Amino acid sequence: MGAVKVLQELFPEPGRLQFIYADVGDAVNKIFKRNAFDAVMHFAAVAYVGESTQEPLRYYHNITSNTLLLVKAMATHGVKTLIYSSTCATYGEPEKMPIIEVTPQAPINPYGKAKKMAEDIILDFSKTSDIAVMILRYFNVIGSDPEGRLGEAPPPELREQGRISGACFDAAKGIIPGLKIRGVDYNTPDGTCIRDYIDVTDLIDAHVKALEHARPSKVGIYNVGTGKGSSVKQFVEACKRATGVDIKIEYLTRRPGDYAEVYSDPSKIRRELNWIARYTIEESLAIAWRWQKAHRNGYN
């Protein structure tokens, strides 16, 4: 809610920004009846791989079922443009890198499976409608607002499931005693997982361009990544440099549902949407660390 308050202060004009606190599955029809929309950007989802292996039914309900209800509401109310937030987790662990958009999808955890099911719903519906669809498959999102207004502040109960950048910053701030790296025996050069880390500001830019290029009866599917893979150990070293803190590291066994190596080929989104990632890991972490230092207790 802290981020919402910041946005409300930034855009106080009546009608400019409306915030409704609700479950998508419960309230979506009421929201569509009371408003007129030109387009939908569907971000809402639980999004922790480890948690999805522990609570699979929650993930299928939250991601797949709720997306079905959203698409049905769009059809009922004649909303013709959808930008959908998907994930590289739908690919699972492909045999070849980098990943292109036609790489076979074989997800290995409930999060990725639920997202792929949601994609299938959207794609099947698009074949019967003149809806404009843009599916963006995110890789690993990091960073914060470069102007210092918004940053990553997950609730305490999600810290254990949280993203590596948040854990690095918590360790650097002394909120937790150190960083836990899960899995050092993967088939990678240093034994830790390799991921493609994309800055959140670059991700926002991708959505803007996707909306600009959305066309009726057209489907666009795009990887949103840098095209470069970095190992968890490399990421942690970059975080140490950004924070200036020699973070203590504890090595643990693998987390269920993880895969060894995933990084993108973003040439399609560059070619068709004129989008390219601008921020390096180092730049992204430096910006995020400034926000973390200024907001030690999150938005509180």
Degrees, nearest 5: CA angle 41-208-116: 45
pLDDT confidence of residue 1: 80
Token pair 């997950």: residue: 154
Q: How far apart are CA 288 and CA 283, in angstroms?
A: 9
- Report mean pLDDT in 10-residue bins for the chain, 300 residues: 92 91 90 95 92 95 97 97 97 94 96 98 98 97 96 77 84 91 93 96 98 98 98 96 95 85 96 98 97 90
Alpha helices in 92-243 (DSSP H): 110-126, 164-173, 200-213, 232-243
pLDDT for the residue numbered 300: 82
The continuous run of DSSP H or E covering 28 comes out as helix 24-34
Q: Does the reported pTM lie above 0.85?
A: yes
Q: pLDDT digits over 103-118, tens only?
A: 999 999 999 999 999 9
CA atoms of 153 and 300, how far apart (whole Å): 10
Catalytic residues: 111
User: What is the spatial distance between Cα 1 and Cα 211, in angstroms, rounded to a whole number?
Assistant: 26
Interacting residues of 256 by C-beta distance below 8 A, sequence separation 6+? 50, 53, 109
pLDDT reported for residue 68: 97
> Given this model, what pLDDT does residue 159 score?
67
Strand duo 140-142 + 132-138: pairing: unpaired
> Which of 214, 209, 239 has the alpha carbon at shortest distance from 224?
209
Q: Where are the beta strands (DSSP E) in 177-277?
A: 179-182, 194-195, 197-199, 219-224, 230-231, 249-252
| Intra-chain end-to-end CA distance of the chain, in Å | 10
List CB contacts of 97: < 8 A, sequence separation 6 or more. 229, 261, 262, 263
